[in-house]
Amino acid sequence: MAETSPLAPGAFPELPAVAGVRLAAHAAGLRYQERADLFLAEIAEGTTVAGVFTSSLCPSAPVDWCRRILPNGTARAVVCNSGNANAFTGRAGETSAQMTAEVIAAELRTRPDEVFLASTGVIGETLPDAALAAALPALVSGLAPSSPAGWRAAADSIRTTDTFAKGSFAAIAGTEAAVVGIAKGSGMIAPDMATMLAFVFTDLEVPAPLLQAALNASVERSFNRITVDSDTSTSDTVLAFATGADGAHAGVVDSPGYTAFRAALDTVLLDLAHQVVRDGEGATKFVTVTVTGAEHETAAKRIALSIANSPLVKTALAAEDANWGRIVMAVGKAGERADRDALTIHIGPELVASQGVVHPDYSEARATRHLQGDEVDIIVDVGIGDGAATVWTCDLTHGYIDINAGYRS
């Protein structure tokens, strides 16, 4: 496995138990050897569920499956394998998905349409159904109440090119409940959604429609605002489960309980999204791009993503080169209104350009000093209106080429 990203957080967090969630991880040897490649969460009866999926028009079989069962609004389990995406596998892929849900449902004495599925890894290869079927009972028998060690093992089992396991949690103000999430993803990351899986659990009781509304809003400001390489996976999945086992209720829209839940969910998803960027393939810089003064928020997001996805901007950042002309280029190609002659650009605290020309006090040495850090801020005002948005990305380095010109696992 590759070296841990230099941008990784210090340590995997101590994720608390979530009442009503049992966890298992198992080494089935489907592709990876000597590591867990299957993850299962069993969730208490009555759990509500919400999901957001890839915008790809060639989605994987598990994404099709989840979309089909999501409208029921309830869940009893989620199963994930790593190493094989079960995407572009035709009828065989559907069969693998159906079989997995049926075996797990039988083992857990529930219905297949309450078993959610995710797969991540290589596209276009069928899953070894016999080996998978044989491994599922062992996976189930490993279930244990959620715990810090269980979350850690779960987060490890869903990794592919990830160089570190990703987890996050937040307490829900005014309750004993929490939001806990794990995620994977380091390449093929782009809005809307990435090669990225995230599973989020809360012991609060949240009705499915409110859970879905909260998840949609939270994903839009987290996973849909990160980009590593502008590519979008066939498999992206974010699932949120509310067991209600804590006994506390989220209440109704605009209630303090629901507001507190949404704040905790936002915190967890944004933290997980940032961790995905910090594990961007080959990344050496964590880059925050903020655009203000756009026609509206959507325009601001589009301009920010144009900057964040530009290979020329990202290679300049890798080289710690304050080549801000490339930022202008990326603003210009975004296709959104911008007043070239009112453009203001900051690199970190340094005012690079204002009124469409380089600022008289601009110091390239100071801008370069900012770029030499691990965390880079680019702030652009396009001089049109009040629209603002922030997105996060990383630089483009030799490491990205190394990983992707070799990866097939």
Which of these, 257, 200, 192, 155, lies nearest to 21 by C-alpha position?
Answer: 200
Peptide bond just before 374 cis, omega within 30 deg = no
**Does residue 311 belong to the site contacting a copy of itself (CB under 8 A)?**
yes
Candidate list 40, 75, 188, 300; residue touching a copy of itself; CB under 8 A: 188
Site string for a copy of itself, 43-62 (x = CB under 8 A): -----------xxxxxx---
Question: Is the alpha carbon torsion for 55, 60, 64, 66 positive or negative?
Answer: negative
**Does residue 408 belong to the site contacting a copy of itself (CB under 8 A)?**
yes
Q: How far is CA 375 from the centre of its chain?
A: 19
**Does residue 409 belong to the site contacting a copy of itself (CB under 8 A)?**
no
Please report, as a single letter, which amino acid is at residue 221.
R
Find out whether 162 and 279 touch, Cβ atoms under 8 Å: yes
Supply angle C-alpha 351, 356, 362, rounded to 5: 30
**Does residue 5 belong to the site contacting a copy of itself (CB under 8 A)?**
no
- Shortest Cβ 296–a copy of itself spacing (Å): 16
- Shortest Cβ 179–a copy of itself spacing (Å): 29
Question: Is 315 annotated as catalytic?
Answer: no
Site string for a copy of itself, 319-358 (x = CB under 8 A): x-x-xxxx-xxxxxxxxxxx-xx-x---------x-xxxx
Of 220 and 364, nearer to a copy of itself (C-beta) is 364
Of 106 and 312, nearer to a copy of itself (C-beta) is 312
Which of these, 90, 123, 348, 390, lies nearest to 235 by C-alpha position?
Answer: 123
- Shortest Cβ 163–a copy of itself spacing (Å): 18
**Does residue 227 belong to the site contacting a copy of itself (CB under 8 A)?**
no
**Does residue 232 belong to the site contacting a copy of itself (CB under 8 A)?**
yes
Which of these, 396, 158, 169, 384, lies nearest to 271 by C-alpha position?
Answer: 169
- Shortest Cβ 60–a copy of itself spacing (Å): 10
Site string for a copy of itself, 66-105 (x = CB under 8 A): -------------------x-xxxxxx-------------
Of 25 and 403, nearer to a copy of itself (C-beta) is 403
Q: In sequence order, what are the beta bridge partners of 353?
A: 345, 358
In the region spanning residues 118 to 137, those forming contacts with a copy of itself, defined by CB under 8 A, are 122-125
Helix (H, G, I), strand (E, B) or coil at 152: helix
- Give the whole-angstrom CA distance, residue 230 versus residue 351: 28
- Shortest Cβ 199–a copy of itself spacing (Å): 22
**Does residue 190 belong to the site contacting a copy of itself (CB under 8 A)?**
yes
- The region that residue 9 occupies, defined by phi over 0 for left and psi between -120 and 50 for alpha, beta otherwise, is beta
- Give the whole-angstrom CA distance, residue 256 versus residue 82: 38
Of 245 and 403, nearer to a copy of itself (C-beta) is 403
Q: Which of 100, 110, 160, 195 is catalytic?
A: 195
**Does residue 162 belong to the site contacting a copy of itself (CB under 8 A)?**
no
**SS3 readout for 193-251:** CECCEEEEEECCECCHHHHHHHHHHHHHCCHHHEECCCCCCCCCEEEEEECCCCCCECC
Find out whether 215 and 240 touch, Cβ atoms under 8 Å: yes
Within 10 A of 361 (CB to CB), how many other CB atoms are there? Answer: 9
Of 241 and 400, nearer to a copy of itself (C-beta) is 400
- Shortest Cβ 371–a copy of itself spacing (Å): 12
Q: Where along the sequence are the contacts to a copy of itself (CB under 8 A)? A: 54-59, 85, 87-92, 122-125, 187-188, 190, 229-234, 309-312, 315-316, 318-319, 321, 323-326, 328-338, 340-341, 343, 353, 355-358, 396-398, 400-401, 404-406, 408
Catalytic residue numbers, as ranges:
195
